[in-house]
């Protein structure tokens, strides 16, 4: 695995930028995505089936796009019971945490001896994109559908690219069944995003689209934003671990290697003020198989300087390992998800900790949050005015200054209805 070395001597923001520059800017696919969206928008299922055959099934004839409900239940019967149990527990824990948030039970929810801190009118229809390609991702079904359901979304669609046999992996279909998805579509890529945004005879248009995916998928989400809401532009994954000298290098190396399994474009970083720890990590990373991910080790002067780097980097996943590092937890403000202590590896967050793994990437943790029920909720004001006099007298001149005479008269009419001016 490629591993870069840095010494944190300059402005932490500069080093954060240098770390981001380790991942080259992806080739633009905006024109091709725009063409795909236009074709699906204009020609509906005809174009959609053509793209599914070309990009999803490798030329094999596509099966009907919507997966019948009885196939979802049947798929659950074919999956390893241990896998089903893991999904059920993931659903249970995520529901517990999100219900606690919704009920206002405080800043944290207890799950046995574990604790998940929540630092923190539904849309009618939402969609969760579940990537395919290297492997099935039933965990993404859990992370997308459960928050939508708990937010109160009535129609929750899941789409996943079919394999060359034309179908979606049974473990993904089983997760859709267990989480309560309304409908599942056999489709993926930019064409699936277009169908979800604008609708086709087979695909009901939605209000919000969430979930990770390829560059084409994310660019399509960006281009249909405005027609629908999205959770954000989910780029390659990243992890930054801040470790002090008392951290276990072997476990920490496994955490970095686990995140590196996400493959090309993934960035894993360890920053520490302990040179010996960094050297031991370097040895493990240098010997690891090449997944296409990039790793970096950063020598800091002290934990405070390391934290400054982390805040500038705004990692998707942020681990604090070692007593000195864990003491900084309350000072963290920029992270997609924060993992504190030797037991809290990011892999737990990907599956079963109760936190969500659909997180802001590429430094977006500066302004964005992990997926939750709020992504499916919209706010509006209900206005009741019992005494319009003072308001009208104050606002009518402003309306006239803007050239809106009837705005002024509309407000002043309420003065007469409620008594003398």
The DSSP secondary-structure symbol of 58 reads: T
Starting at the earlier edge strand, list the strands of the sheet with 337-340: 2-7, 294-299, 267-272, 238-243, 317-321, 337-340
Q: Which of 177, 191, 311, 316 is catalytic?
A: 316
- List the catalytic residue out of 317, 326, 382, 412: 317
Mode of pairing for the β-strands spanning 183-186 and 208-210: unpaired
With contact defined as beta carbons under 8 Å apart, do 194 and 220 qualify?
A: yes
CB burial class (10 A; 0-12, 13-18, 19+) of residue 315?
buried
316 labelled catalytic: yes
Output b/e per residue, 198-216; b: 16+ Cβ within 10 A: bbbebbbebbbbbbbbbbb
The residue among 229, 226, 221, 187 whose CA lies nearest residue 56 is: 187
- In the DSSP assignment, the letter for residue 402 is T
Residue 367's CB: how many other CB atoms inside 10 A? 10
Pairing of strands 66-67, 183-186: antiparallel
Q: How far apart are CA 146 and CA 128, in angstroms?
A: 10
Structure token digits, residue 10: 């300059």
Task: Provide the token pair at 371.
Answer: 């997926």
- Give the integer Cα–Cα distance in Å for 211 and 213: 7
Residues 55, 29 contacting (CB under 8 angstroms): no
Catalytic residues: 316-317
């Amino acid at each position: 695995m490629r591993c870069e070395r840095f010494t944190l001597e300059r402005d932490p923001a500069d080093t954060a930028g240098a770390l981001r520059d380790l991942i080259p800017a992806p080739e633009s696919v905006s024109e091709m995505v725009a063409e795909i969206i236009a074709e699906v928008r204009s020609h509906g299922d005809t174009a959609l089936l053509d793209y599914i055959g070309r990009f999803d099934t490798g030329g094999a004839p596509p099966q009907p796009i919507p997966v019948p409900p009885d196939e979802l239940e049947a798929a659950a019967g074919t999956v390893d019971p241990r896998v089903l149990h893991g999904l059920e527990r993931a659903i249970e824990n995520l529901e517990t945490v999100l219900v606690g948030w919704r009920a206002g039970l405080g800043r944290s929810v207890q799950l046995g001896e574990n604790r998940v801190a929540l630092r923190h009118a539904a849309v009618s229809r939402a969609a969760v994109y579940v990537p395919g390609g290297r492997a099935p991702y039933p965990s993404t079904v859990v992370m997308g559908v459960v928050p939508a359901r708990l937010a109160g979304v009535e129609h929750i669609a899941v789409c996943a690219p079919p394999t060359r046999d034309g179908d979606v992996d049974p473990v993904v279909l089983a997760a859709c069944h267990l989480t309560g998805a309304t409908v599942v579509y056999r489709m993926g890529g930019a064409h699936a995003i277009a169908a979800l945004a604008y609708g086709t005879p087979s695909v009901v248009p939605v209000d919000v689209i969430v979930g990770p995916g390829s560059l084409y998928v994310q660019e399509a989400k960006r281009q249909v934003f405005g027609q629908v809401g999205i959770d954000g532009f989910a780029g390659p994954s990243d992890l930054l671990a801040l470790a002090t000298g008392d951290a276990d290098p072997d476990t920490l190396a496994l955490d970095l290697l686990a995140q590196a399994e996400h493959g090309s474009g993934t960035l894993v970083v360890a920053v520490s003020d302990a040179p010996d720890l960094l050297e031991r990590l370097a040895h493990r990373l240098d010997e690891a198989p090449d997944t296409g991910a990039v790793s970096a080790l950063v020598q800091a002067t002290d934990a405070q300087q390391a934290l400054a780097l982390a805040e500038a980097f705004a990692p998707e996943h942020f681990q604090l390992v070692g007593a000195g590092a864990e003491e900084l937890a309350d000072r963290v403000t920029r992270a997609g998800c924060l993992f504190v202590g030797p037991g809290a590896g990011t892999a737990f967050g990907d599956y079963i900790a109760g936190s969500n793994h659909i997180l802001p990437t590429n430094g977006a943790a500066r302004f964005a949050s992990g997926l939750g029920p709020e992504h499916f909720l919209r706010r509006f004001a209900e206005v009741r005015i019992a005494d319009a006099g003072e308001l009208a007298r104050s606002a009518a001149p402003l309306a006239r200054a803007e050239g809106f005479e009837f705005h002024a008269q509309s407000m002043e009419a309420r003065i007469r209805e409620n008594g003398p001016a």
